[in-house]
Amino acid sequence: AQSVTQPDIHITVSEGASLELRCNYSYGATPYLFWYVQSPGQGLQLLLKYFSGDTLVQGIKGFEAEFKRSQSSFNLRKPSVHWSDAAEYFCAVGHLSSNTGKLIFGQGTTLQVKP
Amino acid sequence: KAGVTQTPRYLIKTRGQQVTLSCSPISGHRSVSWYQQTPGQGLQFLFEYFSETQRNKGNFPGRFSGRQFSNSRSEMNVSTLELGDSALYLCASSQGLGTDTQYFGPGTRLTVL
């Protein structure tokens, strides 16, 4: 079955520290992968996406993610976290070779930033 | 360009009632998808529309339905509301299907009492 796992439900980091949010997927076909962020009371904003090519993807707000096929992972990273990064982060997978935009989301990771 | 808009933003209903939620996609976008977000189940796919045709449907009971109009605006309807239908309903639009990026609206918060 297709699934996305975000092992960390909640993460707390200090402002200025580095961040890595984990995402593992299980998908039979060639996936395409996304990271979205959701602030309280808001919809989802796309941070970055991966379809093919360079496995290190740059996104908005200084985020990047690395696709590792051998580990079925797509971890999100940021070298220095800002207080405004506190939000919930969702990893999602779609079906690259199918004509549908349906996304399967992980359960999300809530990021808290300490001053 | 204006983003995806959803109306209303908040709704309170009682069990057994029905509700209609509306989504206006970004101008030029022809695909609209709906997702339900709850604390327990997370984000779950409801359905996807493209050019007024339902292309994909998630694993939800028949009480959940939707449609898309010729101007790409979409509505979803939930009949015979249950307490468990309380959720944030998110709409996303994209230019086409497949790998086109989906842009999400702010959602409609439905509370069923």
DSSP structure string for B16-37: T--EEEEEEPPTT--EEEEEEE
Q: Which residue of B has its CA nearest to A103?
A: B45
Measured CB to CB, residues of chain B less than 8 Å from chain A are: 4, 31, 33, 35, 42-45, 48, 55-56, 58, 90, 92, 94, 97-107
CA dist., res. A23 & res. A8, Å (int): 9
Q: Which of A48, A96, A100 is the mutation pick for testing B, counting most B CBs within 10 A?
A: A100
Note whether B48 and B33 are within 8 A (CB): yes
User: Between the ranges A32-41, A101-110, B82-91, where is the mean pLDDT highest?
Assistant: B82-91
Nearest by CB to A101, from B48, B105, B106: name it.
B48
What is the pLDDT of chain B when averaged over all its residues? 94
Whether B19 and B78 have beta carbons less than 8 Å apart is answered as yes
> Residue A98 has what pLDDT?
63
Instruction: Please name the residue of chain B whose CA is at the shortest distance from the CA of residue A5.
Output: B42
Residues B49-66 pLDDT 10s: 999 999 989 999 999 999
Is residue B46 within 8 Å of residue B76, measured between CB atoms? yes
Encode pLDDT of A30-88 as tens digits.
788 999 999 988 889 999 999 888 889 999 999 999 999 999 999 999 999 999 999 99
- Is residue B19 a contact partner of residue B12, using CB atoms and an 8 Å limit? no
